[in-house]
Amino acid sequence: MFVQLGAVVLDADWYARQAVRPGTDCWLKLRELLGEDFFARDGELQRRKLRNRILEDDRCRREIDAILHPCIMEAMEHEWQRRLAGSPQNLIIFDIPLLFEAKIGHRFDTIILVYAPAEIQIQRLVNRDKVSRRQAEQTLLMQLPIESKKEKAHIIIDNSAGLEHTRRQVAEVWQRLSTVKRQ
């Protein structure tokens, strides 16, 4: 919705997928850590298999995070600098689902949390990722509770109601941020 209004959005999930492309440094480190079993014949990381592993093995998840998070942030910061140099008037939003878990919230001027209660998050994970309820609950347990994230955010967009409700809030936040950017 922010992109539709004119923002540049740097999506951490997209950068994470780029970081694990066959042949990248992160990919090589993951192969060394995980072994061949987590990679298809063409070298692609088997994400579902990895997801199941990190749900069961917290140490493995931390090791993977230590490999991926710095690489992802470096790539995002590089793109931010590039975009800033090209069009300093653009509003640039970093979309980082694990911002607080990665302990990098201090790097940002304004933190926007897109909020939905845990039960709605679980249902959305089950529907989107085609996982069991147990897997969805385990996924959320790897993150800080959504209620504690609310306390750390500067702006909260309630995404628990309909799309139009969310769209109105995004428009209000866009107006607010655009006004600050112009000053």
Domain boundaries, the chain: 12-90, 109-183
Share of the chain above pLDDT 70, in %: 98
How confident is the model at residue 31, as a pLDDT? 95
| Residue 165 neighbours by CB under 8 Å, 6+ apart | 158
Q: Is the CB of residue 108 less than 8 Å from the CB of residue 138?
A: no
How confident is the model at residue 105, as a pLDDT? 92
Is residue 81 over pLDDT 90? Answer: yes
How confident is the model at residue 182, as a pLDDT? 60
How confident is the model at residue 183, as a pLDDT? 57
Reading phi first (left if > 0) and then psi (alpha if -120 to 50, else beta), residue 24 is in: beta
Is residue 15 over pLDDT 80? Answer: yes
**29-52, pLDDT tens digit by residue?**
999 999 999 999 999 999 989 999
Is residue 61 over pLDDT 60? Answer: yes
Q: How far apart are the first and last CA of the chain?
A: 23
How confident is the model at residue 179, as a pLDDT? 82
The architecture CATH gives domain 12-90: 3-Layer(aba) Sandwich (3.40)
Residue 154 CB neighbour total at 10 angstroms:
11
Structure tokens at 142: 């790897």
How confident is the model at residue 174, as a pLDDT? 95
Is residue 89 over pLDDT 90? Answer: no
The average pLDDT across 141-151 equals 92
Assess whether the region 12-90 and the region 109-183 belong to the same CATH fold: yes
Task: Please report the sign of the dihedral spanned by the C-alpha atoms of residue 168, residue 170, residue 176, residue 179.
Answer: negative
Is the domain spanning 109-183 CATH 3.40.50.300? The answer is: yes
How confident is the model at residue 145, as a pLDDT? 93
